[in-house]
Structure 1
Amino acid sequence: MSATSTPLSLAPYNTFGLALNAQHLVELSERAQLSSLWQANPELPLLVGEGSNLLFTKHFKSLVLVNRLKGKQVSETPDAWLLTVEGGENWHQLVCWCLDNNMPGLENLSLIPGTVGASPVQNIGAYGVELAQFCHQVESFDWQSGEYKIWSKEECAFGYRDSVFKHEARSHFIVSVTFCLPKAWQPVLGYGPLAELGERATPKQVFEKVCATRQAKLPDPAKLGNAGSFFKNPKVISAQAQALKLAWPALPVFAAEAGLSKLAAGWLIEQAGLKGVKIGGAGVHTQQALVLVNHGDASAEDVLRLAALVRERVEQMFGVRLEPEVRMIGEQGETYLDEALACLS
């Protein structure tokens, strides 16, 4: 399949469904396309999977490269399965495939939207499990050198919703991820409703509970545009968390790194009275305050101003400043909330 480049609406390529355009867009279905695209487009393109964690703030004035690479390969050691997956594979479908083939481990991450190639960038996580726990290595194509590179788990520098690919390795297009799934499976049941399952829970039961919980709380992007959790759960010093807990006993607080505690951003937003609040066509979801939604006619400006309002109200009430988890993309590439607000015309 040869690559074609044409101006195109970005609405199908971002789950917010915002009506913005790219100057050029290419769907990459074969690795062989990468070298020719790199030679023809020396400027770094925007690398996109399913657009489930993106907020386009302006029309994009360069190339958008969409990962549609497919394929899986399995090998094993006496203790684990090694599963190499091409970056364009759908994440949730991979979780289902692993369960169908008796290779559990990823079930806590069920129904997280997006592609396998996007998963290391954010170090996706849910219900006590992060991708970093199962990542063996990442293969990428460097848009600066035109060469492939293999990253060990340590080189990926995983953190909370963070990795090297969000910083110094932003020029790397992830072509595959290799997972190490231990054969001695152990359920992770410490978060929310999973504790109800008990230690004898099966991988299928964990999968079903995670899916049911997410479907009850989170809107389907196909029906109501959104990019999942808009803000990160904030980390604060433990003394501040303890003080907040005294003032608001129902505040969920989780252990983090030494001296730090993690707070539930959705709870903070809800307590600030923001559930259902709208600006233009954008709103805070009525079931899960951590999610900002497009009610059908939202503009990027609506979403940005709503995000700023949420951040302001939470900071005023709790003294905690929320940081967006969603990646914001301006005319030339990555941007940030304050910068995007300043660029509104």
Structure 2
Amino acid sequence: MTSPAPDLSVEHGVNLCGANTFGLPSTAATLVRIRSPQDVRRVVDHPVYGVARKLILGGGSNLLLTRNLDEVVLSIEIDGIRVVEDGPDATLIEAGAGVVWHDLVRWTLDHGHAGLENLALIPGTVGAAPVQNIGAYGLEVGERIATVHGVDLITGRAVEITRDQCRFGYRDSIFKRELAGKTVITHVRFRLPKPWQPVLGYQDLERRCQETGIAQPDARTIFDWVCDIRRAKLPDPAQIGNAGSFFKNPVVTAEQCRDITGRDPHLVFYPLDDGHCKLAAGWLIDACGWKGKSLGRAGVHPRQALVLVNLGGATGGEVLTLARAIQESVYGRFGIRLEPEPVVV
């Protein structure tokens, strides 16, 4: 019998099929809805939940559920967006961790604050954004984060983590390493610099500039372009279950890149400032013949090989089996190990 949890919203035997964008079957034995930092502290102080294993659940867009969950699932539902400071050099905006990421991007533009438009339509929530250091079309969210606020799951104390302390990397942060499962992110503050400068160094955006004749698009135009491009390339999780890009684009040395292009001259890659090269994982998967293929009820999207999809009724195990088959195939041909983006539970 579970101890009572006054002031906490607790549910048992919760079906999580609708709480993960893959639409995978899983049941949470205990789910606590977190709607404020105080709720996290109540969990920490609880005689049962405080010592139990916990799993933090945001929008479920970066999660591969392969089993039912015995952990106490903390569903992060903290809302609210506000301008903290609007100064001459930057605007500081705070958003609750449960805010839908795309809603925040749209809100900033609707209120005249540009700077996040390249990250439009990325699935997930604000609290998950710094964990994954989400990025798209030439911008990573770490470039716009000022501080991340949360609660320590051991002590219940409030924590404030600066951008430098987050140690952002490509799809990486301290929240995926030292602080993984130890800190619940409750709010994120974003610094949007002034004067605003468009980020247009991505091929698809450069092509739009050429096609439209708009050399200096405003933020709203970039937002609209990014939405159009993403909708054309990536399937809507509301239509077919998926978690967006399933694999990270591997980063290799220039020598490794030359070796691969010597054998496969059509390899798609992007030189990085530090001399390394980022390979297009989607191209590697497509080159191995996986686009549009399936194993059981899990498949590779026919328009974008980087996206694995639930064809209907798939289990997490089926998606994982497909992912491992793709990894083996790419390693066998290119000697490159693909790393999944979603957290496998």
Residues in 1 aligned to 2:117 and 2:290: alpha-carbon distance in whole angstroms: 31
Q: CA deviation at 1:220?
A: 0.7
Q: Aligned pair 1:81/2:86, yes or no?
A: no
Q: CA deviation at 1:293?
A: 0.3
Q: 1:181 aligns with which of 187, 192, 195?
A: 192
Specify the alignment match of 1:297 in structure 2. 313
Q: CA deviation at 1:260?
A: 1.7
Q: CA deviation at 1:73?
A: 2.0
Could you say what secondary structure the match of 2:151 adopts? strand
The 8 Å contact of residues 53 and 227 in structure 1, kept in 2 or not, is answered as yes
Q: CA deviation at 1:118?
A: 0.5
The 8 Å contact of residues 69 and 86 in structure 1, kept in 2 or not, is answered as yes
Q: Aligned pair 1:26/2:32, yes or no?
A: yes
Specify the alignment match of 2:55 in structure 1. 46
Q: 2:225 aligns with which of 209, 224, 228?
A: 209
Could you say what secondary structure the match of 1:23 adopts? strand
Q: Which runs of 5+ in 2 are unaligned?
A: 1-6
Residues in 1 aligned to 2:233 and 2:88: alpha-carbon distance in whole angstroms: 39
Pairing of 1:13-162 with structure 2 (within 5 A)? 13-40=19-46, 41-42=49-50, 43-74=52-83, 75-162=85-172
- Cα displacement string for residues 80-114 of structure 1 (whole angstroms, at most 9, x for unaligned residues): 10001111101001101111111111111000000
Between 1:38-47 and 1:118-127, the stretch displaced more is 38-47
Q: Aligned pair 1:247/2:258, yes or no?
A: no
Residues in 1 aligned to 2:167 and 2:126: alpha-carbon distance in whole angstroms: 18
Q: 1:65 to 1:230 in 2, by over 3 A?
A: same
Pairing of 1:246-265 with structure 2 (within 5 A)? 246-256=262-272, 258-265=274-281
Q: CA deviation at 1:270?
A: 0.6
The 8 Å contact of residues 269 and 280 in structure 2, kept in 1 or not, is answered as yes
Residues in 2 aligned to 1:222 and 1:72: alpha-carbon distance in whole angstroms: 25
Residues in 2 aligned to 1:85 and 1:286: alpha-carbon distance in whole angstroms: 36
Residues in 2 aligned to 1:2 and 1:163: alpha-carbon distance in whole angstroms: 30
The 8 Å contact of residues 292 and 303 in structure 1, kept in 2 or not, is answered as yes
Pairing of 1:309-320 with structure 2 (within 5 A)? 309-320=325-336
Q: Aligned AA for 1:10? A: L
Residues in 2 aligned to 1:99 and 1:180: alpha-carbon distance in whole angstroms: 14
The 8 Å contact of residues 103 and 183 in structure 1, kept in 2 or not, is answered as no
Residues in 1 aligned to 2:235 and 2:155: alpha-carbon distance in whole angstroms: 40
Q: CA deviation at 1:246?
A: 3.1
Between 1:67-76 and 1:229-238, the stretch displaced more is 67-76
Q: 1:276 to 1:321 in 2, by over 3 A?
A: same
Q: Aligned AA for 2:55? A: L
The 8 Å contact of residues 187 and 199 in structure 1, kept in 2 or not, is answered as no
The 8 Å contact of residues 71 and 86 in structure 1, kept in 2 or not, is answered as yes
Specify the alignment match of 1:12 in structure 2. 18
Q: Aligned AA for 2:100? A: N
The 8 Å contact of residues 37 and 151 in structure 2, kept in 1 or not, is answered as no
The 8 Å contact of residues 140 and 172 in structure 1, kept in 2 or not, is answered as yes
Q: CA deviation at 1:31?
A: 2.8
Residues in 1 aligned to 2:268 and 2:221: alpha-carbon distance in whole angstroms: 25
The 8 Å contact of residues 236 and 262 in structure 1, kept in 2 or not, is answered as yes
The 8 Å contact of residues 36 and 186 in structure 2, kept in 1 or not, is answered as no
Residues in 2 aligned to 1:291 and 1:61: alpha-carbon distance in whole angstroms: 29
Could you say what secondary structure the match of 1:116 adopts? coil
Residues in 1 aligned to 2:45 and 2:77: alpha-carbon distance in whole angstroms: 20
Residues in 1 aligned to 2:305 and 2:175: alpha-carbon distance in whole angstroms: 28
Q: CA deviation at 1:32?
A: 2.4
Q: Aligned AA for 1:55? A: L
Q: CA deviation at 1:316?
A: 1.1
- Cα displacement string for residues 176-207 of structure 1 (whole angstroms, at most 9, x for unaligned residues): 00000012111111112200325411111111
Residues in 2 aligned to 1:80 and 1:39: alpha-carbon distance in whole angstroms: 38
